[in-house]
Amino acid sequence: MCGRFKLSSDDDTLHAEFGIVLAQDYQPRYNIAPTQSVLALLSDGETLRPAALRWGLIPPWEDSPARGARLINARAETLLQKRSFRDAFEHRRCLILADGFYEWLRDGKTRTPMLIQRPDRRPFAFAGLWERWGRGEEKIFSCTIITVPPADVVRPIHDRMPLILQRADQEKWLDPGAGAAELQQLLLPYTGQLEAFAVSTLVNSPANDSPELMEPV
């Protein structure tokens, strides 16, 4: 499960990595939590555009958006089996931008927050799904992060991790014409370099959002 991540890169770094121009009010985030807004990339097959999506996918048939807080992750192995994710997997895929994510290492009753990121601190993209939900004039665009079995560095900490797409696979993930069989070939554990280290327990509260949260302790 991925329940917290960060996007602390500046807009110049994100432009260099993904070729996008962000709104002037873009601000780095150090402790992104469910139901909060995340920065995602959507494509119609020709144009790549940034979008703000609520984290926690709300299926269109739900009467209330409250259920969305529980659908923050989608297991890669069951995307085509789950009604909540099947249609979005086929038609509404997105990239969710991040440069690190948090997991909690358990030792008895002790839970130590760990930050997992690339050693070069560069941003990356989680594979995500998005949905439209609306009742009357109320409309919400929401998303979920796909999870896979962990990479080696994550395995001692948790048995799942977000699906980080290799740069060469990001365009294929967003391609509206990609079929399910082709897409399922991308649902693999990350093989790039990652590092993990303990950080402050301040990250336990979503109310805390500052650079201090990503410093090793």
| Catalytic residue positions, numbered | 2, 103
Tokens of 186: 């991308």
Any idea what the Cα angle at residue 52 is, between residues 51 and 57, rounded to 5°? 110
CA-based nearest residue to 164, from 131, 130, 122: 122
Any idea what the Cα angle at residue 214 is, between residues 212 and 217, rounded to 5°? 80
C-beta of residue 159 within 8 angstroms of C-beta of residue 2: no
19 conformational bin, left if phi > 0, alpha if psi -120 to 50, beta if neither: left
Give Dmax over CA atoms of the chain in angstroms: 51
Instruction: Give Cβ neighbours of residue 47 (< 8 Å, ≥ 6 apart).
Output: none
